[in-house]
Amino acid sequence: MPTLPQFFLSLDDGLAKLVVAVGSVPHFVTALSSINDSPESRELGEETIKVLEVLAKRHAHELGRHGLFPVLLNFMELCEALYPLDVLVSTAIIVKSVLLSAWSSSGSVKDADLDKVLVVMARLVGRSHVKLQESALSCLSVLSSMVAR
C-alpha cells in the first residue's frame, strides 16, 4: 500500500492551500476509509491523519465538504484499538475543526453523526491521557454550542 510522502507532514499554509486546490482531499478521504489492521494500512492511516490535521487548521470547510466527517468518526472507533494516543488526539482535533467549520458556516451535520461524536468524545473524556481529555472536551463544547443554537 502506498504511503504519503513525508513532506506532507510539515505542510506550510501555501502548500496546504495548493494540496486543497488541486483536489487532493477526496484522496485522503478514500485513504482513510480503506484503513484496516495491516501494518501498511495502519501506517497510511497515521500519515493521513497527520496531513488532515495540518489541512484542518485552515481548510476544515473543504474537509467537511468532501464527506470526511463520517469517515473520521468511523476511523476514531478503529483508532482507539490500533493507534498511539497522539493519532487519536489528532483525529479529535480534526473532528473539532470540521464541527466548528460547519457551525460557523451554518453548514449541516447529520444528527446521527452528532450523536456519534457525543458517544465517542464522552468515552474519550474517561481516558487517562490529559491531551486526549482536553481534545474530547473541546469537541463536546462545540457540539453543545451547535445543539443549543
DSSP class of residue 8 equals G
Residue 138 has which C-alpha cell?
473541546
Three-class SS state of 63: helix
Q: What is the pLDDT of residues 7-37, one digit of tens each?
A: 454 567 777 788 888 888 899 999 999 988 8
The pTM is what? 0.84
Distance, in Å, from the CA atom of 61 to the CA atom of 55, rounded to the nearest integer, reads: 10
- pLDDT number for residue 107: 64
The stretch 43-57 carries a mean pLDDT of 91
Instruction: Spell out the residues 6+ positions from residue 115 whose beta carbon is closer than 8 angstroms to its own.
Output: none
Q: What is the pLDDT of residue 87?
A: 92
**CA–CA separation, 15 and 2 (whole Å):** 21
How many Å apart are CA 17 and CA 21, to the nearest integer? 6
- Residues of the chain with pLDDT > 70: what percent? 89
Asked if the model's pLDDT at residue 124 lies above 60, the reply is yes
